[in-house]
Amino acid sequence: MLEENKSTHKRAASYIARDTLLDQLRNQQIPCQEAFDTLFGIQNLLWLVVALALLRIPVLRVLRGQSPVDLGFLEWSFEGYRGTMIMFVLMMLSCYLFYLLHWLSAKAILHVRLCDVLFRLMSLLMLILPFKWISFRQLSPVPSFFLVLQAHSFFLKSFSFYSVIASAEEDGTAKKDLLNLRNFSYFIVAPTLVYRTKGYPKSDGIRIGFLLMQILRGLGLLAVIYLLITEQMLPVFYRAGNLSLLESIVLLTLPSGSLYLALFFITFEVALNIFAEVTFFADHYFYEDWWNSLSYDEFSRKWNRPVHEWLAQHVYKRARIRGFSRVGGIAYTTLFSAIFHEIILAITFGKFRLYMTMMMMLQIPLMFGMKLIMRKDTLVRKRIVNTFFWFGMFIGPAILITFNVYDWYIQSSGLN
């Protein structure tokens, strides 16, 4: 009896004043790695929920004796893939024309002003010719999006190279000392958009385990993207005649927001890391914690670091040099970015609209409104602003998809 009382007293004495587990995580009373280990079961649960949600329809199709997935969309997306890859290689090789311009100028074969004129002409052609090719071959949106995205990427790279070399020459450095064909060739394939005359940090080697893991993640995300499109989004387009515009937006909100997240991770977490690994590019800092954003300007800085660095270096910085105020520079940079995004959508779907531009410009007043709310930094206000941010991240893609894809898909004879 005495031993039982002692045991009970010992257990009672072990009680201490403690917060709940979630409060300890929230207040950072538990170290980061320990918190990650503590929640590993919750992470497994979330992955299981996602898997069950995506695999529900394929399993039902198998039980009904059908193919687990609709392969028609995949076959349609790969039409003209040979020409697409040839066009991609030609676009990559055309970047060397910008190097040739500076080389001819350094050899005094071409005058600097003539080089500038040719530079502007070639930059314009780099954007126009892929559009002409897409229109001529009548490519579907998937290869069209791939080509126009790569065309813009090579354009940004070429513009950065030409501008950095020209600026360094203005500062007094001889152009022949700035031109390095090996460094330029590395820049073309490296996952960066801003040219550095002094090169980039290099890794010691390729991590095979890391590379294989990224490939597996990429394959998994490709499956997720395909199921989202074919099982969650295409059925909405099939029912276009029986749905109002608002009903379509509501039905597409969750799948389009999920598609946006999947595209983000397959681009910035998988594809860029694979390119960085195989090219020994040591800077893997392609994004920050944009999911905690409290304003759209914070999101624009964090979600796409390569493009943000290019815009900061070649658009915002030039705007400030030309006398723009900080707000004016932000507005100018946002407009520039919006127009480029609009061109990508216009070439992909074959019709120029201003939906993306209007939505991105709307972010400017929302940016200041969100900052006004956050003048008093409290947890409640952070939650409200971040929730509003996430609402926009889901409803925005739904609206864009509805307006940019809806009419095009209905009118497309390839899938009707």
DSSP 160-185: HHHHHHHHHHHTT--HHHH--HHHHH
* CA pair distance 61, 59, nearest whole angstrom: 5
Give the tokens for residue 149: 């995205």
Q: Is the dihedral angle over the CA atoms 259, 249, 408, 129 positive or is it negative?
A: negative
What's the CA gap between 398 and 404, in Å, rounded? Answer: 10
Using CA atoms, how far residue 266 sits from 182, 225, 300, in Å, is 29, 9, 18
Element housing 293 (H / E): none
Catalytic residue among 111, 284, 314, 341: 341
CA distance 233 to 404: 14
Q: Is 341 an annotated catalytic residue? A: yes
359: left (phi over 0), alpha (psi -120 to 50) or beta: alpha
Query: Angle at the Cα of 342 (from 337 to 346), degrees rounded to 5?
Result: 155
For the annotated catalytic residues, the residue numbers are 341
